[in-house]
Structure formats: structure tokens, C-alpha cells
Structure 1
């Protein structure tokens, strides 16, 4: 059933278009750039093309998927919600916590689906880690550390924190069980352009004592994408590049002596997280269930992003 219009046919929008088309759910593509719109029309001649958002909102298609620049997210998503559409919006949900909260509240009040594109929550390895930690086998989760670094594309409209960190903030919240934030500290270096940080470290403390450390950089010699979880009894490391989770049965006992009982590698079936994410949105449209990365998940992520940004310039 064709039930979504993708707004934005840029680099990431093309990925969403391809996936929803393969799932036989793509009803239309909206793109204001004539060149991008023409390319999309040529590739998907059987899909309706719209020249702007207003044309898409005037259609009878029930859901809108936004892959537009982050500064447009609040205005576009609110316009779609007010038009009675269900909404999928790419990360970051908005650039201000208050704006994100308004979207989540509106969706709740009108029983509409609002989902945020926190892609890594649909990565099978992260799903496995979340379920494993929830089982209690590893004991209480104490700390999560993430690293997302490379010599990457430097942007002028946003710093590396807003570009890379939404992925890792969503993972941290998910693996810790979505605790409330108590304090966010951050420091960074703007090495290439004034006031646009290329390298950022952030430390988060949550109510209840759990902590997290995030390192993001696009001016770094090594490609590193990893998540490390420290628990009472074990340590888990997810290597995103190798797509491998290693469980280390090691720690420190009550007498403060080291304990090391080996490690094991978890075999996780390969799959495409973007396909899983798109399927989940379509399922939510059908069943009206709350998405795993719903509007309130988006609010929680933006709150940490915004608090860290403020801390960078304190």
C-alpha cells in the first residue's frame, strides 16, 4: 500500500526513497530543487512528483517522511501534523528542545504517529545489547562510552556534535533505559573554523548515578565507531565497523581485585537497519503503536544535544 511521501531527495533522502519504494509504500516525492526533482522523476517514473511541501500536504497520502535540512524540521513537521499527516522526521528532530516538545505534544494530543530517524536504534546489534542488558545477566549498567570519529566531511552550518552525536545520544539513552538527565558537561576544539567544533567530548550524568561519555570528531586520523558498556559484572563492546559485539566477563570484585573469566563474541545476523526502520514506521502507521524512536525519544535526544552545545560555550 502506497502511503508515504518523502520530502527531500538529497543524499539521505534518496536512501529513504529507495527503501520505501522497495517496500511498495512510496506514493510521492517532494523536492523544491528542480535538478534533484528531475533526477528522482527519471529514476521513479511511476511515483508522483511534487514541487513543494504544500502540494504534498494537499494530497490524500496519510504520512510524510522528512529528509530536509535540520533548521526546517520544526516548521515542516508541524505543518504536516496540522494537516493531519503522520510524520517521520530525520535526526536531529529539531534544534531546540522546546520545539521538539511542541511536536511531541501535538502528536499525542491528536493521536498521530511521530517518529524520529534514530537509525542506530534499529541496528540489530544495538537491539541485542538492549535486550541482553534488560535481562539482568550483566547486572546494573553503570556507564556507556561511545566514539564516532574519522577524517570526514567538514560542515559549515553545524559542528561535529550536532552532525554525529544524535546517533550516540540515542544509543546511550536506549541502553541505559531512558533515564532523566541530571548534568551535561562538554568541551571541544574548533580547529578549522571559528566556533564550529571539529572535536567534542561530552560527559553526561543521569539521575540515579549512571554516566556516559561521548567523543565525536570529523578531524581525526582513525575511523572509529564503537559503544562500550560497563556493568556490575561484565563489559560489552560493540564495534560498529566490524558489526561485532564482544562480551567480556571481567570486572572488579568486592575486595577490589581484578576478575577476568574470558570473553565471547556474539554472532548477530546481518541486516539493513534503514530497511528495519522504514518497516517499523509502516507497521506503526498500520497498528497505531508508538514507534521505538517516538517524538519523546526525539525530545530527550535534543535536550542532551542542546545542553552540551550550551556547555561548549560557557
Structure 2
């Protein structure tokens, strides 16, 4: 196992700057050597470089051709992930690509297969898999605390300018699609039905409502860039309990309120206790990047590899087609 690796970040904007901040903290602890950052925007690049006292460049090929760099975080716009990702893999770089891995299932599969062929680490930034709330939910789900689960529901809204290169499904709802697959052991849904559209007259949808049918379990996901209040929540409903995750307040609660049949062939609510879970303060992105670094050092498969990310892309792709065709689609 390598004692340390050389890391670079390509793309230091909205989310990439957080990669820079965390890698710098890992360098300060002796875990990595932070070699360089790259951003096409000179103002952004200079500001970040000065703040963290890092070498910088506006040309990603300088990082591509630097033999000392072992691993790269790629945090560029979504429609560049495939092209740049393939270039970095061909240059022999271990790679963490921010979600989505690519904009199509075919491109995601190509990146995954190439990384495997070249024996390189390819990890994808599905950061909610490293969120302590989601991990605890998975634990409770798996050990049967909720009983037979039959319904999942997620809301993810904010007021945000629509992306020029893609819609809200593959950029925002992708988080909840990924959480759903994670909870259900990476199973794909049998059928997908999505509705929504562009209310601003843009090429891609800004609002979507997605139903994922898993044969006995249904997951409903609502995502939109048009709401002024930032909402990030997941509900999981079983016949023994319900769990609510609020990612904004970082709270998780389990309600043991259930609906049961009564003597009159009707249903009634049986109230139970409410349990709130408490967590040690941990930043999911730091957990994710630490895992990436360790995967590269040990040359071992990361938790969120290209295969997992490709399955998420497949669901996003079919959901988008369902929205455009205005009908449910079977997942093959």
C-alpha cells in the first residue's frame, strides 16, 4: 500500500471548491500530497489557489500529462464528464468523477469498462451514500426495524437556474434514485413512470415526478429547481414503522405509528413512540474523499464504482424517456 498519493482537482467551482478544501485538510494531516488545481475560469482559479496556497493551471492537459499525479477529482460540468473522464483514464489516472458519471448509460458503461481494463480506480461522487443518516437508514431497513417496506418517497427542491446541458432528473433527482437503489441492494425497478417538463421553455425539464415500481415496493421522487424553499427529505414506510430523514436539518426520526385493520373491517391508526437518532458530526464529502484516497492507496474497489453509477444513469435515462413519451416504460 502506498503511504501517500499525489492528488489534483479539475474544476473548482460550486462543488469542486469543496473537494479542494477537503483535500487540503487531508494534506495537512499527511494523508496526501495536493499537487495542483485546474479551472478554465481565471478568476475562480486564482482565488482558490491563493486561498489554499496551491499551484494552478487553466489547462487540464498539464495535469493529464503530469506523471507525478496519481489521482484526480473531476468536478467539471456534467456534459464534460465522459470526454474528460476518458482522457484522464487513458493517461493512467485514478479518477473520482462527480455525479453523474456521464449523461448516457452507454457512456457510463464505456468509462467503467475502460477503467477495469486498465486496472484503474474509478469512483463516482454519489455523496449521499456516505451520509451518516442514509447509512443508518440502510441499517434499520436491513435489520427489519420498519417491517415490510412498501413505500419510499423523496422531495428535493430549490430555486436554482436550470442547467444548460441536462435536466433536473439526471442532475438533482439522481440523488434520490441513487439512495433508492442503495436501500434496495442495487435492484433495478421493473417499471418507471415520470411526468413533468420545462415550465421556463427550456430544452430540459426543471421539474419531475418519478414513480419507480419494484414489485411490491414503490418509490416516489419529486425534484424541481423552481421552488424557493430548499427541501431535502426521504420517507420510508413499512408496516411496523416509518422513518423520515431531513438532510437540511440533519435529523432522522422513526415513528412507530401504524395503520391496522379493526373489528369493523375498516382501518385505524395505532400510535406508537417516536425515536430520534443522533449522530456524530461528520461531513459526507470528507468521508467520500477519504474513501477514494484509501481505495487508490490500497488499489481496491471503491464502494461506489462505475457499475453502481451506471445503473443509476440507466434509471435516470429511462425516467427522462418516460417523461418525454408521457407514458410508463418497462426496464429491460
TM-score grouping bracket, smaller chain normalisation:
over 0.9
In structure 1, C-alpha distance between the alignment counterparts of 2:305 and 2:281, rounded to whole Å: 25
In structure 1, C-alpha distance between the alignment counterparts of 2:261 and 2:111, rounded to whole Å: 47
**2:122 alignment partner in structure 1:** 114
How many Å apart are 1:254 and its aligned residue? 6.7
**2:282 alignment partner in structure 1:** 271
5 Å-filtered alignment, 1:209-224, equals 209-224=216-231
- Per-residue displacement from partner, 1:105-152 (whole Å, max 9, x unpaired)? 222233221111111111111111111212223234322111001333
**1:282 alignment partner in structure 2:** 293
How many Å apart are 1:289 and its aligned residue? 2.8
5 Å-filtered alignment, 1:89-104, equals 89-104=97-112
State the SS of the aligned residue for 2:244: strand
In structure 2, C-alpha distance between the alignment counterparts of 1:48 and 1:190, rounded to whole Å: 41
Tell me if the contact between 2:100 and 2:170 (Cα under 8 Å) persists in the aligned partners. Answer: yes
2:213 is the counterpart of 1:202: no
Moved more, 9-18 or 188-197: 188-197
**2:23 alignment partner in structure 1:** 20
Tell me if the contact between 1:139 and 1:233 (Cα under 8 Å) persists in the aligned partners. Answer: yes
In structure 1, C-alpha distance between the alignment counterparts of 2:152 and 2:193, rounded to whole Å: 15
How many residues align? The count is 312
One of 20, 44, 50 as aligned partner of 2:52? 44
2:174 is the counterpart of 1:166: yes
- Per-residue displacement from partner, 1:267-297 (whole Å, max 9, x unpaired)? 1222211111111111111222322221111
2:277 is the counterpart of 1:262: no
One of 225, 228, 239 as aligned partner of 2:235? 228
Tell me if the contact between 1:185 and 1:204 (Cα under 8 Å) persists in the aligned partners. Answer: yes
How many Å apart are 1:43 and its aligned residue? 2.5
Structure 1 residues 251 and 289: CA distance shift in structure 2, 3 A:
farther
Structure 1 residues 242 and 36: CA distance shift in structure 2, 3 A:
closer
**Uncovered stretches (5+) of structure 1, i.e. residues with no partner:** none
In structure 1, C-alpha distance between the alignment counterparts of 2:49 and 2:276, rounded to whole Å: 45
**2:146 alignment partner in structure 1:** 138
State the SS of the aligned residue for 2:209: strand
5 Å-filtered alignment, 1:53-132, equals 53-59=60-66, 60-132=68-140
Structure 1 residues 285 and 214: CA distance shift in structure 2, 3 A:
same
Tell me if the contact between 2:181 and 2:188 (Cα under 8 Å) persists in the aligned partners. Answer: no
Tell me if the contact between 1:2 and 1:27 (Cα under 8 Å) persists in the aligned partners. Answer: no
One of 295, 302, 309 as aligned partner of 2:306? 295
Question: TM-score, length-normalised on structure 1?
Answer: 0.92
In structure 2, C-alpha distance between the alignment counterparts of 1:244 and 1:311, rounded to whole Å: 33
One of 237, 240, 244 as aligned partner of 2:244? 237
**2:14 alignment partner in structure 1:** 11
In structure 2, C-alpha distance between the alignment counterparts of 1:221 and 1:235, rounded to whole Å: 27
2:165 is the counterpart of 1:157: yes
In structure 2, C-alpha distance between the alignment counterparts of 1:55 and 1:237, rounded to whole Å: 46
In structure 2, C-alpha distance between the alignment counterparts of 1:140 and 1:112, rounded to whole Å: 40
